[in-house]
């Protein structure tokens, strides 16, 4: 099991919020109000980037993390994967040509 530093959580804006707010049970429009409320908490959080980095690194598939929804994180992972593949497929300059 990988260990992730989570000291940032002590400074999180959600520390005193109900954790269920960040894990909507309903989907679609039924969850929109709850998601909006969670995102408002995240908007002013001083450790939002650390939270998002944790979620992206650990592969969090559920809940609101770092001001993002699961779908937003999936899209971000896919974009990052595409960028990595594009970089890897580019021809590398020949170091001997100098």
3-state SS string for the chain: CCCCCCHHHHHCCCCCCCHHHHCCCCCHHHHHHHHHHHHHHHHCCCCHHHHHHHHHHHCCCCCCECCECHHHHHHHHHHHHHHHHHHHHCCCCCHHHC
> With pLDDT > 70 as the criterion, what percentage of the chain qualifies?
91
Q: Average pLDDT in the 42-48 region?
A: 96
pTM listed for this prediction = 0.79
Q: Average pLDDT in the 13-31 region?
A: 90
Q: Is residue 76 part of a domain?
A: yes
Q: Is residue 2 part of a domain?
A: no
Question: How many structural domains is the chain composed of?
Answer: 1
Q: Is residue 49 part of a domain?
A: yes
pLDDT of amino acid 97: 56
pLDDT of amino acid 8: 92
Q: Is residue 96 part of a domain?
A: no
Q: Tell me which residue range forms the domain holding 13.
A: 7-87
Q: Is residue 97 part of a domain?
A: no
Q: Is residue 43 part of a domain?
A: yes
Q: Average pLDDT in the 58-68 region?
A: 95
């Amino acid at each position: 099991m990988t260990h992730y530093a989570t000291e940032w959580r002590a400074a999180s804006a959600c520390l005193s919020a109900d954790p269920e707010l960040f894990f909507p049970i309903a989907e679609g429009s039924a969850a929109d109000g709850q998601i909006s409320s969670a995102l408002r908490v995240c908007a002013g959080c001083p450790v939002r980037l650390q939270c998002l980095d944790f979620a992206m690194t650990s592969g969090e598939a559920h809940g609101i993390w770092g001001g993002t929804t699961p779908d937003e994180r999936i899209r971000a992972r896919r974009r990052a994967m595409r960028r990595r593949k594009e970089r890897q497929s580019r021809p590398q300059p020949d170091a001997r040509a100098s």
